[in-house]
Structure 1
Amino acid sequence: MTSGPKLVSILRQGSYLIASIHTALDDTQMDRFREDLIEQIGRHRSRGVVIDVAALDVLDSFGTRTLRTIGEVARLRGALTVVVGIQPDVALAMVALGMSTGAIATALDLEEGLEYLNGRLAGGAVSRPAGRVPPP
């Protein structure tokens, strides 16, 4: 058993899961996060997932690919995913290195991410997001 602060938290809010990454994760920890989150989507029959990466000052290619994988698997299981809190320096580095979140929507913060899910899921059907949340 390890002690110390939690690296990731996954909280349930109604039909949504809110997953916050609190510190940089190595590849093994990122794989574990993916497995745990995907398992909880099924267990809670979640319709939406918010992944908060605001605490990260680096997001490498493996992390970015893992987020895309989570989003695609979640979609196949009936849940829509939005990534929130990408820091400006992280976004600049991702663009410079040609990395993206693919078809996963992004939002500025948790509040905007929840608004996005509420708007997209109000009609019932989950469809593929088209990138960043449009302004109201």
Structure 2
Amino acid sequence: MDDWVIWIILAVVLGVAEIFSLTAALGLLGVSALLTAMVAAIGLPIPIQLLVFTLTSVAGLVVIRPLAMRNIRQPQLQRFGVDALVGKSAYVVKEVTGRQGLVRIGGEEWSARAYDETVVIPEGATVDVIEIEGATALVYPRE
């Protein structure tokens, strides 16, 4: 079997493994194997093929992979749904206890409970939304 065929098979195996791992490392090694397959198709000897594979692998893993991982790990810039309510302030419409209450968050009324069950928050107070449990806001009074 020709050398270039072996490199192509290696590239395919690494590419399939990358699909399952999503680390960007195996994909870069697959690209290195493809480049080495081209070198082998030209007819260069095995030591040069191994040198090309090593150099392109190192370059890919040292230069390209950190750039790719930096772009993949971008934090979500905005929170959506009920996650966006956590940390907002709310206005107490009906006294909030450890069991029940009603607050207005951004123009919407939500059922509420005090985050600290021993605290009673009077009507008209301003509170912070600590957590959302289902359709109930867990709130804590502002100092």
**Which structure shows the higher helix fraction?**
2
Q: Which has the larger radius of gyration?
A: 2
Greater relative contact order (CA < 8 Å, ≥ 6 in sequence): 1
